[in-house]
Structure 1
């Protein structure tokens, strides 16, 4: 059985990143008898200049993309529908904010070393998009960390230090130099790139093709 190395460049603030991942997860479950995978998440900041206090999400989207309220409502519905198909719930009922995600990426770098990176990433997505937690608030952030079984005190120490600052920036620069300017981007075996919140069927087709090409190269 072929084992695929899958690197996912993403931001917790990106709704299509969780949609894409959930569809990838479905595809990998469908192909479990043909291939296995090792997944690593890598940092990308949609809004690196966002202040710590964040910004109302609707206001942010209207400013950034010049969307009307009608267009925003249509986008929310499309996202909710795509999330439902992927098995993820977006909550649009309460006040939502866009935040600076740099500290989340630092904690995810630490969680990678602890073997809990995917668990923490998914917990961040759920906290932000489903539970509407303000992850720019330390207590809310640490609660999510504790929820997945990571040490809360260690996480607090990281937040109050410069640990993983250079590591996050280095990875961001590396992927930027590779030409990655949008997320999610899924890099398979350091050779193939898939972008966007694609449906599971597209992932299945692409992964099968990659698996076949890799098998030919091994013969």
Structure 2
């Protein structure tokens, strides 16, 4: 049987991208199947609708210097490339409010497409630098993976998924999740941060026997 992994994550979290792809690569190399469930977390729940310049945002929130920001971006870009993901940073890149993205993922889960949508949103933000607070942009991303674009946009406009997402966010924060990525394996074992392929392979190998038939 597959190892279940709940990944508490935000769509604008670069280490969530790295961590997921490291784990996916480890799973592929060990031949262990994953059952991935993406869970909502907002790095910046108070972010204004217009967003903020990413570099200025990081400087204000973490005290990141311009040189530190450049080095971090270069490192992430290199790590992403090694895993087959393109980070395409730019000085005018924006940090955005992601609550609508999480609502769309919640809706996509009903169609069994939450995983596909999450990965598509990672690419939309980090590779194409699209505004993931924009309803039309989000509807286009949903359409790109085969979901109905008009229905997706209607879901966002209505806000019908908002409270479901808030409930899920409260559930995970009530269990002590204060940073992402946070990965919960088989609903029991919490691993935080991007751990690297070797560590993920070790974790998966440890957990697999419990699911052997």
TM-score tier after normalising by the smaller chain length: over 0.9
* Deviation at residue 198 of structure 1 after TM alignment: 2.0
Task: Indicate the residue corresponding to 2:62 in structure 1.
Answer: 65
* Deviation at residue 38 of structure 1 after TM alignment: 1.3
Structure 1 stretches of 4+ with a deviation exceeding 3 A read: none
Written as runs of structure 1 = structure 2, the 5 A alignment for 1:93-172 is: 93=90, 95-172=92-169
With 160-169 and 108-117 compared, the bigger mean Cα shift is at: 160-169
* Deviation at residue 94 of structure 1 after TM alignment: 5.9
Deviations 1:53-77 (A, max 9, x none): 1111011011111111111111111
SS at match of 1:88: coil
Written as runs of structure 1 = structure 2, the 5 A alignment for 1:19-98 is: 19-32=18-31, 35-93=32-90, 95-98=92-95
SS at match of 1:128: helix
* Deviation at residue 140 of structure 1 after TM alignment: 1.6
8 Å CA contact 1:94–1:132 kept in 2: the answer is no
- Count of paired positions: 213
Deviations 1:67-125 (A, max 9, x none): 11111111111111221222211012462111110000000001111011111101100
Task: Indicate the residue corresponding to 2:7 in structure 1.
Answer: 8
* Deviation at residue 182 of structure 1 after TM alignment: 0.7
Deviations 1:108-151 (A, max 9, x none): 00111101111110110001000111222222221111100111
In the alignment, the residues of structure 2 paired with residue 84 and residue 136 of structure 1 have an alpha-carbon distance, to the nearest angstrom, of 26
Gaps of 5+ in 1: none
SS at match of 1:38: strand
Over the residues paired in the alignment, what is the CA RMSD in angstroms? 1.5
Q: Scaled by the length of structure 2, what TM-score is found? A: 0.95
SS at match of 1:160: helix
